[in-house]
Structure 1
Amino acid sequence: MRRALVLSALLGLLTGCAGTPSDPSGIWINQAAIEAASKGGKLREALLAYGPNLEWRLDGKAHVATFSNGFELGSGQLNEESPQRWRVDFYGNTREYLELAGKELVQVGSENWPEQRFARAEQQPAENTPPGATFQRALYQAYLDGSWEIQEGPGQGEEVKFQPDGRVDGLPGAERYALCLAGDCAAMSGDNDSIWLQQGAQGREYLFVREEDKLELFEAVNGARDGEMPEYSPGKRVWLLERD
């Protein structure tokens, strides 16, 4: 009888553990978009194909969920519906649903967005890390990783390295860079991918094409009238880089 009571207590404990909700807290990034982009081709096409959202930041204790699409941020209230499913309520009575599926966080398809899948970031950054920065760093690491040699253009023969934190080494006239993911920079460059290069307080946009281990940067020629939003098209090729 005593053994039966002990066994019953153990079964009850195991059942209680199995029913404990999983905590989704942390930063989740759109790894599928990163992998698609890293193969080459147009960057923004790859991000849109698996996005548009690129990162979710979830705080189960504070019941807050924040997403980033590379330009906009949205924040809502995180509410648990079941141990593996959460509802995010946004201002204006709109809502989205998130589910855990194995090691992935799935944003359930809705009238607003298609289904999207996210992986928990391998290294969870500090709490004060800006929303979207974790995805950006992972993208930069995968998309421009390695050493690039300048085949044509200023600094020919020099080695260039694009750091995950936005620094660039070895590219004449530039010490920082930023890839255009969405927003105004995307609207201004049309179907072209663009990159911002900056040294000190001075910077400018370039259009680029990356195919596997070849990276071409072109002047961004503005075809818009004065007072209108710029409309950039590729001009003269400034650099041709190849990855070792």
Structure 2
Amino acid sequence: MRHTLTALLASALLVGCAGKPGSPDGIWINQPLIDAAREGGPLREALLAHGPNLEWRIDSARGIATYSNGFELGEGQLSAEQPGHWQVDYHGDYQEQLSLDGKQLVQAASANGPEQYFSKPATAMAADAPPGSSFEWALYQAYLGGKWTISQGLGQGGLVIFHPDGRVEGLPGSERYALCLAGDCASMAGDHDSLWLQLGQQGAPWLFERDGDELRIFEAVNQAQSTEMPEYRPGRQAWLLERD
């Protein structure tokens, strides 16, 4: 999990990274995953159903295509096939096939994953923002956007706002957050969704459950031995948030 999100998101462009008509150039995000998360169910289910790749960055002039899956980056060599189709080679180990279908970029099904669909983001980050930033902005806005009221827990009655750049206002003891999308944080959380909450230089993982307009945040209790990778289960409920 990336524990802090770059301040460069503040310089977002309302349109960005668009290539010429018929060109794959630019940033593409996994919009079906975002739409599924917007329904307000478990984030893990949306990731499993529509992942694993979250964002593509394509630069045909340099012949480079990079994907982000929330944990790692894969950079491959882009080459044009027949019109509207491209191949991405990863050091000869494997390939991905990309194509344009109207306003969507299609990643063909392969041994590495299912067929996936990507769209241009409504808000694209600055060119030097970390890969995956455009997807995270859109996901955070869709999944946690709006105004939440603390119904139970410290600060009861207060207003909480999760900003798409990773800032959080009104949640006691926190000023930054990051949703766990893949990697070690997902492995440690098992079947649960998790997020990172941070104040200054100090932060910790928490588990959460999302059900429509209710968000329950739990302490993450480590069941593993000190010599093992942490294995978290939900502990005490710290907050119940309800969205207006």
Q: Same fold (TM over 0.5)?
A: yes
1:137 partner SS: helix
TM-score using structure 1 length = 0.90
Which whole-Å deviations, capped at 9, do the CAs of 1:111-157 have from their partners, x for residues lacking one?
Answer: 21110000111233221011011101100000001000000000000
Structure with the higher fraction of residues in helix conformation: 1
C-alpha deviation, 1:97, in angstroms: 0.3
Partner of 1:77: 77
Q: Distance in 2 between matches of 1:164 and 1:214?
A: 19
Moved more, 90-99 or 64-73: 90-99
**Percent identity between the two aligned chains:** 61
Q: Distance in 2 between matches of 1:175 and 1:66?
A: 31
TM-score using structure 2 length = 0.90
C-alpha deviation, 1:92, in angstroms: 3.6
Q: Distance in 2 between matches of 1:54 and 1:47?
A: 9
Q: Distance in 2 between matches of 1:32 and 1:116?
A: 9
The residue type paired with residue 164 of structure 1 is P
Q: Closer, same or farther in 2 for the Cα pair 1:21/1:215, shift >3 Å?
A: closer
The answer to whether the 8 A contact 1:26-1:59 is kept is: yes
1:182 partner SS: coil
Q: Distance in 2 between matches of 1:155 and 1:110?
A: 49
Q: Distance in 2 between matches of 1:123 and 1:241?
A: 27
Partner of 1:149: 149
Q: Distance in 2 between matches of 1:66 and 1:164?
A: 23
C-alpha deviation, 1:40, in angstroms: 1.8
Q: Quick check: which has more Rg, 1 or 2?
A: 1
Partner of 1:59: 59
2:239 partner SS: strand
The answer to whether the 8 A contact 1:29-1:134 is kept is: yes
The answer to whether the 8 A contact 2:223-2:232 is kept is: yes
Partner of 1:33: 33
C-alpha deviation, 1:162, in angstroms: 0.1
Q: Distance in 2 between matches of 1:48 and 1:57?
A: 22
Partner of 2:158: 158
Partner of 1:216: 216
1:82 partner SS: coil
The answer to whether the 8 A contact 1:189-1:231 is kept is: yes
The residue type paired with residue 22 of structure 2 is S
1:171 partner SS: coil
2:37 partner SS: helix
Partner of 1:11: none
2:33 partner SS: helix
Aligned length: 225
Partner of 1:12: none
Question: 1:196 aligned to 2:216?
Answer: no
Q: Distance in 2 between matches of 1:197 and 1:92?
A: 40
| RMSD of aligned alpha carbons | 1.2
Unaligned runs of 5+ in 1: 1-19
Higher RCO (C-alpha under 8 Å, 6+ residues apart): 2
